[in-house]
Amino acid sequence: MNLPVLKTFTNKVRVHLKHSFDRIKNEKLKHNMLQAIPFWIASIITGLIAVVYTKLFLLAEELTSYVYHQSAWLLFLLMPGCFILAWWLVKRFAPYAKGSGIPQVMAAISISSPVTNSRVDKLLSLKIMFVKVASSLIMAVGGGAIGREGPTIQIAASIFRKINEMLPAWWPKVAKTNMIITGAAAGLAAAFNTPLGGIVFAIEELTKTHFSYFKTAIFSSVIIAGLTAQGILGPYLYLGYPKIGSLSGLIFLGVVLVAVISGLLGSGMSKIILLILKWKARFKFTRQHVFYVTGCAVVLTAIAVFLDYGVLGSGKDLMEKVLFTPDKYSAWYTPLLRTAGPILSFTTGAAGGIFAPALSAGAGVGSVVSGWFQLSETNTNLLILAGMVGFLTGVTRSPFTSAILVLEMTNRNNVIFHLILAGMISSLVAVLIDKHSLYDHLKVQYMKEVEE
């Protein structure tokens, strides 16, 4: 073969290879784009629903406060009625809409496969989403010590799963597990306005899968859901900017003390909840459940009317009071009441999360301990944040998620090491009461139930 012919042949091969690579590159780009679109659509929907849910939840809590200030005795009618209705909605229409929603998401992730769709449907679906919203809002009107963050996670996971199911057959397949995990992360990010918290939550709490397989989906979904919520609510912090500066050199000792107390309380609360749920599982008649739910509502009402109204609701008011007002030191019983409230609310079987109540109970611990030593405003604020991290870690056993969430809620980057220390110590001492988290126990329970 002479040189001109060889040169012509080489050029043709080069052009052919270039066209092939370009085609492959374009096809891969198209494939990746098509795979990303479902995540983006679901993220926008999640952000919008999170905003509406947030506003309705706040209105529900304001309605409770209005009733209380008009006539506190009306709570003895309002709360039992709301508790029973919220429980009945879940029992009648969607049994797995009860509680926080995070264990249901964890169970769905664990059992998700092409042959388990019917079982996953019991844990994540549009029906569950509507019942979850309705039941939790009714509980909030009734003064239940619940949060909206866990429910938002189950709602978001249901939305992402439904979008995935609606894709036509020719659409590039998206792993169902990845879709659920990403939805949960986006839900937390939209609920708390904490994008990093959503990402860390997905890694630490929901999965041990190699993160690189779907990190782009999580990053983009968290950003889109968060930006959608911010576009309507504005760039807000969940709590604000507490003063934290000029800290004492010995404040680490206070952080350790608060972490130990809050970690034990958080784990203890979880243990009590599990024991009550185990006892309730023996109920054979509906009237037994009705009596229990009514009893919880009456006890909670009595505490609110005769002792402290602050036992009701998510507890955000308590966090804002001790962080941003001169009233820094709480009464010794405040953390105990903020621990009892979620126990009485969560065990009813109605919908409602435990994230915000756990944070408020931890804030109460930090506030009480600060009062023991009459600490300064800045040192007190740090111990309050440490208590929030510690109590939430005692419940979830996710110290990094807890620390990052509190960090993003307050934008106090200078105390990140203090918060991580609180989370790690809390995680260690919580094991003394129970080796596993509340979510882990409930996840196993739900996995067994849906397989029956």
For residue 81, CA distances in Å to 45, 60, 76, 202, 357 come to: 32, 15, 9, 36, 22
Topology (CATH) of 28-233: Clc chloride channel (1.10.3080)
At residue 363, the pLDDT reads 96
3-state secondary structure of 154: helix
Read off the pLDDT of residues 270-325 as tens digits, 9 standing for 90 and up: 999 999 999 999 998 899 999 999 999 999 999 999 999 999 999 999 999 999 99
Question: Any residues with CB less than 8 A from the CB of 8 and at least 6 apart, and which?
Answer: none
Fold agreement (28-233, 251-451):
yes
| Contact in structure between 153 and 188 (CB atoms under 8 Å) | yes
Strand partners, 351: 99
Q: Where are any strands of DSSP class E within 231-390?
A: none
At residue 192, the pLDDT reads 79
**Which run of H or E residues covers position 102?**
helix 102-111
At residue 134, the pLDDT reads 96
At residue 210, the pLDDT reads 46
User: How far is 106 from 120, CA to CA, in rounded Å?
Assistant: 11
User: How far is 365 from 391, CA to CA, in rounded Å?
Assistant: 9
Q: What share of the chain is helix, strand, coil (3-state, %, to 5)?
A: 80, 0, 20
Residues of the chain with pLDDT under 50: 1, 17, 210
Q: Is the dihedral of CA 24, 28, 30, 31 positive or negative?
A: positive
At residue 167, the pLDDT reads 84
Q: How many CB atoms lie within 10 A of CB 306?
A: 8
- Virtual torsion, Cα 360, 363, 368, 370, nearest 10 deg: -170
Strand partners, 147: 353
Instruction: Tell whether domain 251-451 is in CATH 1.10.3080.10.
Output: yes
Q: What proportion of the chain, given as a percentage, has pLDDT over 70? A: 87
User: How far is 213 from 43, CA to CA, in rounded Å?
Assistant: 19
Cα radius of gyration rounded to whole Å, the chain: 24
User: How far is 443 from 105, CA to CA, in rounded Å?
Assistant: 8
For residue 193, CA distances in Å to 140, 405, 435 come to: 21, 9, 30
At residue 336, the pLDDT reads 96
User: How far is 222 from 225, CA to CA, in rounded Å?
Assistant: 5
Q: How many angstroms from the chain centroid is the CA of residue 87?
A: 20
User: How far is 112 from 7, CA to CA, in rounded Å?
Assistant: 56
Domain locations in the chain?
A: 28-233, 251-451
For residue 253, CA distances in Å to 365, 379, 383, 407, 431 come to: 15, 11, 10, 20, 21
| Contact in structure between 133 and 97 (CB atoms under 8 Å) | no
User: How far is 96 from 349, CA to CA, in rounded Å?
Assistant: 9
| Contact in structure between 50 and 195 (CB atoms under 8 Å) | no
